[in-house]
Structure 1
Amino acid sequence: MTIENYIDNINQRYKLGNATEHTFRGDLQQLIESLVPEIRATNEPKRQSCGAPDYILTKKDIPVGFIEAKDIGDKDLEGKKKSVNKEQFDRYKASLDNLIFTDYIDFHLYNDGEFVTKIAIAEITEKGIVAKPENFKIFKNLIKDFCTHIGQNIKSPKKLAEMMAGKARLLSDVIEKALTSDETHNEDSTLKEQMLAFKDILIHDITPKGFADVYAQTIAYGMFAARLHDPTLDTFSRQEAAELIPKSNPFLRKLFGYIAGPDIDDRIKWIVDNLTEIFLACNVEEILKNYGKTTKMEDPIIHFYETFLSEYDPKLRKARGVWYTPAPVVNFIVRAVDDILKTEFDLPQGLADKSMTTFDKTVPKFDERSKNKSKIIGEKIIKQPIHKVQVLDPATGTGTFLAEVIKHVHQKFKGQEGIWSSYVENHLLPRLNGFELLMASYAMAHLQLDLLLKETGYTSLRGTKQSVQRLRVYLTNSLEEYHPDTGTFWASALANEANEANHIKRDTPVMCVIGNPPYAVSSTNKGDWIQNLLTDYKKNLNERKINLDDDYIKFIRYGQHFIDKNGEGILAYISNNSFIDGI
């Protein structure tokens, strides 16, 4: 199709008097694909209803540009009027780096949110739509340049955080609309299945918006983690990201197996593909290294996460309690625990102790007389060896306390670097345990601990990558007991995390409970198990000033539960100052 043909076609439809912006979509699609044959201009109503721009231009399935089309003669192609296009245009400009707004005859180009140029190939007159042939050549070049756009190289951590946040916001909007649409039309989808599993097993009162937020952040940060491990900077894709997620985090690998595979919901595929383009334009490792130098912070990953969240949604950051726990406070608590283990528990190596104990483990009892001895006739108790100094952070967040334990123990191996990897594999990782409820924080904790271990010089001794030891940080609700598997793939993946965590909750003799658990007077953690434990604190109590159902008190009771079960131990929390008021 030539530009002349295109204008003739839309003019004929326009003159009928009943045309809408949808009337001309096929014509513009044909024109673009005629001018740049290697480009596919996709126009899918299902995607658009969930927040996608009208056209997604792809080259070999990789998004290269986006077009949002309004009705012919639209009066707000600059997106300045609040009541017309401003909100939508601002959202797209903040998240899509190569973008055209058009009314089918006037085209406004934006790169990285900034206006570049505009060109009109026709105008509306009393006789209808009349071509402006003097602009055809410029328009052809503009469309060709638009379709070969190469994103800028991103070198600034703030710019990367801004761009990640913009894409994640758009992804969250799309997911929320998709879930709402599924609910309204009573349709099933893989996204809906995931949210229901999440609601059933982890956060029972989560809304589509809440799920969309954590899911979008997790995808953005999972991509970030994958790119950080990427040795080939000139390529990056959903599929590559799935391969690069560390095997020490099996749940995130399962999530990215879905993201990379053919079953990904088509309504989010385009924006996930576009997200990969951001990471293709940067060297995440270099950016983080420089960020650490300029901020003089020990944990640039965590500070970068804070920057990302403040760009993504400052209110959400506050609501989620994602505030960096000051390093000196964490360091003091870890050193204090180490000192108490030495002085009060007669363990000279403190947190580095590798002594063993045993615990009673319930296992199936098999009939020795049956064939293959496979018939279960009951249960029996066996003595299971386990490390004595087990450490648990029941509200791990981004892994700050567990990271500090690793740093503290690593200091004791100065001059003994040759035995560090063996010690980590056999005597450190089996003792460090963490529970986290929020998927994005959980992904961050894994990323931080994985990179920290690498920085200390740890390398897995297990040979093949397939057998890499997983980090014992689990996506689970600390204040609930194990949740049974409900059968779907996603429920199975989440239940598997909960089941692994349950071995710690049920069997592991935890000696040190540390961390900075949440404070929430209006707690939604009202499960029978923790409420029953809490009744011990309420017996014969006339004090009414302190709300004993606050989450921080539940976590204190939770920690005490482990210490009681073990017979001895240390509970070391950062706590709400109202605890002191209640003494």
Structure 2
Amino acid sequence: MGGDQYGWLRAAVSRFGEACKDKLSGGGGPEAAIRGPLEVLLRVVSECHEQHRVSWHDEYPLPDLGVRPDYAVSVNGKISGYVELKRPGLPVDPENFGRGSREQWHKLRGLPNLLYSNGTEWRLFRGGRQVGEPVYFAGSLHGAGGKLAVPDPLAFDLLLQQFLDWHPEPIRHVARLVQEIARLCRLLRAAVQEQLRSESRSSAPDDDVRARPFTGLKNDWRRYLFPSADDATFADGFAQTVTFSLLLAHTEGIPLAPDSLHEIGRRLDDGHALMGKALQLLTDNVNARFTVTLDLLTRTVAQVDWPAVRSGNRDAYLHLYEHFLTVYDPALRQKSGSYYTPREVVGEMIRLTEDVLRTRLDREHGFADEDVRIVDPAMGTGTFLHTVSERVAEQAAERHGPAMTRDAVQRLASRLGGLPRWYADPAQGRRADDVEFPTADKRRIQYVSHIGGTLPEQIRHDAEAETLYIGGGAFTPVSEAVWTYDVGGMPIVKKWFGYRKASPNSKKTSPLDDIHVDAWPAEWTEELIELLSVLRRLTDLEPSQDALLTAVLVGPVVTEGELRAAGVLPVPPAARKARHPALDGLFPDV
């Protein structure tokens, strides 16, 4: 019965063998010779499964990847997969590729639906991972002719059905969300880097939008946002901004459709101006060049079921970016310091801190008290500040009803602050508010020549002399690391000066913005010295911080089994309830 069921497929493979033998015996390129028979074979399979709107587009260019697979396959008018055909006898297993095929594979591997074949061996890949087992034909294309056979027709039929039936599936779990968007974000980043390399070989001027659209975009990115960004940094920033703008748009209920990025950005602009404008700026002139990658990304993000993602993981938003970086670029994750603290640990730390506020510092309303300021000096994914906000909102609802939640959080917002990195150094014997180095310390900033009576317009740095020049003024020692220190790609010293120079960089929104000082205030000089001192302390601490992080990562960990053995897990239900302030205080006097 099994043979009868797949008799049509056995016959199709036999005819494929006959056609290949005839084509290969006539000379010409062996890969080109099997193209026609391959199209006929695949069309037979699609027709058998009533997929009548399947089209094969040969030598389909993917300019965003800098590669041209042998076929793009469209089903019902939408590109759904790609076929890379090798001449008979060549391997289609990436582990055995030669140099040329390996380079091509690295460009194609990010595609979500890719079929490799040499006519007798068939492998299906999705996102660089092989799906199922390879399927082999019995016989040689050069000599088998009509005797070419498929030993396992069921496996071959299922493989081709998987290939032809591909479409983005609903994403309901954080793990799969991270895997999918990280893979496509990497694909987009690689496409941008390839485009920049291509444009660098062009003789057209940088501002030629048609010939060098990404060069101009990169230059604008440097001019307005991150002056020190190189090509790799720009490509990474582009890819992540587009990816997370689409995710944000989807959470806001904005329809995601291919070729609609400008409209998505416009609608996103209503509530998230920065991300909306960024999406428009980054994609308005480059959509046509990145059609495949942007289409795949948009279609995939549109399949994210946010309610399901959150129902399975309450912390989904909080640790999404940390998990994303782990898959997307582990080195970038470590460099940015994006590490997530579990909600249970954060919750206990927040509760204990609020107990101290109430029982020891006489702040009856805890974090909701108007005198309490909350600053996270290394906020990472923002878990602590988010948990404080949730706690204040819950307490407001308990005291005054659910309508009070929004007002309570709005009042809290002005008292919340977060920094990417901040260090204090009490071991040096200085006051907590004193950031300068001791007088005898060679690192102490010296103001060696006066800035002058007028506002300066220029700032520059002499790396060899370790001297910072502002107008006629000079400050030393200022290391290259201090001068180039950035947060999220923003150079701190240049940014600080940009708001204070004769022609400030700040955006003008009213006539009041034209009001500016006439001379350099002495307070600015003191502020600059403190800023340079803080940056020097930060750069000096980086080696020890890196060493500490390395030691932590390679050190022993507490396992779930050990926590259970110690009685810490499972957490009893009573421990999850908010505690009432102790009548005698958390730390009674002895």
Displacement after TM superposition at 1:197 (Å): 2.0
1:286–1:189 CA distance, 2 compared to 1 (3 A): farther
| Aligned residue type for 2:250 | R
Amino acid at match of 1:147: L
Does residue 178 of the first structure (1) align with residue 192 of the second (2)?
no
Contact 2:19/2:37 (CA < 8 Å) preserved in 1? no
In 2, Cα distance between equivalents of 1:338 and 1:198: 46
Structure 1 CA distance for aligned equivalents of residues 18 and 292 of structure 2:
29
Task: Give the 5 Å matches for 1:481-560.
Answer: 481=495, 533=527, 535-536=529-530, 548=536, 550-551=538-539
Give the corresponding residue for 1:564: none
Alpha-carbon shift at residue 320 of structure 1 (Å): 2.1
Could you say what secondary structure the match of 1:108 adopts? strand
Say if 1:329 and 1:265 are closer, same or farther in 2 by CA, change over 3 A.
same
Contact 2:189 2:238 in 1 (8 A): yes
2:178 maps to which residue?
A: 161
SS at match of 1:324: coil
Q: 1:222 maps to what in 2?
A: 245
Number of equivalences:
433
Contact 2:174/2:309, CA 8 A, preserved across alignment: yes
SS at structure 1 position matched to 2:495:
coil
After alignment, is 137-146 or 311-320 more displaced? 137-146
Give the match for residue 82 of structure 2.
66
- TM-superposed CA distance for 1:270, in Å, is 0.7
Contact (CA 8 Å) 1:109, 1:118: kept in 2 or not? no
Alignment partner for residue 306 of structure 2, among 284, 303, 310? 284
Q: Please name the residue that 2:330 is paired with.
A: 314
Decide whether aligned partners of structure 1 residues 178 and 484 sit closer, same or farther in structure 2, where only a CA change above 3 A counts: farther
Q: How does 1:419-430 map to 2 (within 5 A)?
A: 419-422=404-407, 427=411
Report whether the alignment pairs 1:56 with 2:72: yes
CA positional deviation for 1:332: 6.0
Q: 1:153·1:281 contact (CA, 8 Å) conserved in 2?
A: yes
1:200 corresponds to:
223
1:252 aligns with 275
Structure 1 residues 41 and 10: alpha-carbon distance in aligned structure 2, compared to 1, 3 A threshold: farther
| Superposed CA offset, 1:218-259 (max 9, x none) | 333333333334498xx8656386477474321211233467
Higher relative contact order (CA 8 A, sep 6+): 1
1:199 Cα deviation after fit? 2.2
Question: 2:186·2:328 contact (CA, 8 Å) conserved in 1?
Answer: yes
Distance in 2 separating the partners of 1:248 and 1:436: 25
Partner residue, 1:102: 117
Task: Determine the C-alpha separation between the residues in 2 that align with 1:5 and 1:576.
Answer: 62
| Residue 415, structure 1, aligned to residue 399, structure 2 | yes
Q: How far apart are the structure 1 equivalents of 2:355 and 2:201? A: 55
- Which whole-Å CA distance do the structure 1 matches of 2:288 and 2:498 have between them? 30
Q: Which has the larger radius of gyration?
A: 2
Deviation at 1:170, TM superposition (A): 1.9
Q: CA RMSD in A?
A: 5.7
Counterpart residue identity of residue 399, structure 2: G
User: Whole-Å Cα distance in 1 between the matches of residues 301 and 334 of structure 2?
Assistant: 27
Matched, 1:403 2:390: no
Partner of 2:316: 300
Cα contact 1:436–1:476 (8 A) shared by 2:
no
* Structure with the larger strand share: 1
| CA shift in 2, pair 1:46/1:152, >3 Å | closer
Counterpart for residue 453 of structure 1? none
- CA distance in structure 2 between the partners assigned to 1:21 and 1:341 by the alignment: 78
* Counterpart check, 1:76 vs 2:91: yes
Percent identity, aligned pairs only, is 19
Give, as a single letter, the amino acid of the residue that structure 2 aligns with 1:195: K
Match for residue 297 of structure 2? Answer: 275
Give 2:482's aligned residue.
none
Partners of 1:436 and 1:477 within 8 A in 2:
no
Match of 2:468 in 1: none
The TM-score normalised by the length of structure 2 is 0.55
Structure 2 residue matching 1:115: 3-state secondary structure: coil
Amino acid at match of 1:81: N
Please, which moves more after superposition, 31-40 or 99-108?
A: 31-40
Alpha-carbon distance change, 189 to 408 in structure 1, aligned in 2, over 3 angstroms: farther
After TM superposition, the structure 1 = structure 2 runs for residues 379-394 of structure 1, keeping only pairs within 5 Å, are none
Relative distance call for 1:476 and 1:329 in structure 2 (3 A) is farther
- TM-score normalised by structure 1 residue count: 0.56
Q: For the residues of structure 2 that align with 1:141 and 1:330, how far apart are their CA atoms?
A: 49
User: Deviations along 1:453-488, whole A, 9 cap, x unmatched?
Assistant: xxxxxxxxxxxxxxxxxxxxx996655437989xxx
CA drift of 1:161 comes to 1.8
